[in-house]
Amino acid sequence: MKKTIFVTGVTRMNDGFVCISGIDREAGKFVRPQIHYPERIGIRKEFLLDENGKAIIRPLVNVELDFIRPEPKAKFHTEDWLINGEVSPRLVSIPTDAEKRQLLVSYKNKSLEHALADQGRSLVITRCLGVPDVFVEKFDDRLKCRLTFYDESGDKHERLPVTDANWLAVARYLWILDCTTVAQRLKSSLLGKEIYLRIGITREWQGQCWRQISGVFSIPDWLGGRCFTDYGYEFDDHV
């Protein structure tokens, strides 16, 4: 069945795979589309792009996908859906900033702790109080980005890793230009804006499910309408 989702997450994974997620516009629920490939379940990065290498699926746009059936997991990951990988995604529309804000506000939670307390979901939108602190470090020839922020309940969340493709693309681009000013320039790009973060919960690793920032959004848009493909991002954070 064809469904339109408002994309709230395009994140880097390993081995050329990505994770996409968003809000089912008809049902009003978060969904995480996945394809069953012979080697694994997920989304290959090529599925995001058109024949010219431009992103069809990117954060904060409405995209149509062919959904098959829900595949919820027992802990946190209740949003998983199997989609038909033979049907290409279709860009439905690019919302205005006002429309984006309305959707982000409608689905945000003031308290991240409260939203995740019952382990019944793995995707949450929250609004920052102020501008988050930005950390960008090189570790084993790869960039690692983290944010520290306060949610609207006043809770502080320290140094959560960022996996948002847009944020990582810009961080890598800026690092290549001047590695000494990346964190400062990223933080400056958020000044004077309403900042929303999409938080995701990882699948279990080392006996624990971890929090990460899978979307960094602002009104007005800190990227000015650009996305990861405009920065030549190949979902590889080596520098």
pLDDT(195) > 80: yes
Rounded average pLDDT over 183-200:
98
What's the pLDDT at 120? 85
For the chain, list the domains and their CATH numbers: 2-93 (2.40.50), 97-231 (2.40.50)
The pTM of this model reads: 0.95
Q: What is the pLDDT of residues 41-94, one digit of tens each?
A: 999 999 999 999 999 999 999 999 999 999 998 678 899 999 999 999 999 999
Q: What is the pLDDT of residues 21-47, one digit of tens each?
A: 999 999 999 999 999 999 899 999 999
Using pLDDT thresholds of 50, 70 and 90, give the confidence band for residue 119.
confident
What's the pLDDT at 163? 95
Flag the least confident range among 105-109, 137-141, 165-169, 179-183. Answer: 137-141
What's the pLDDT at 74? 67
d(CA 194, CA 221): 9
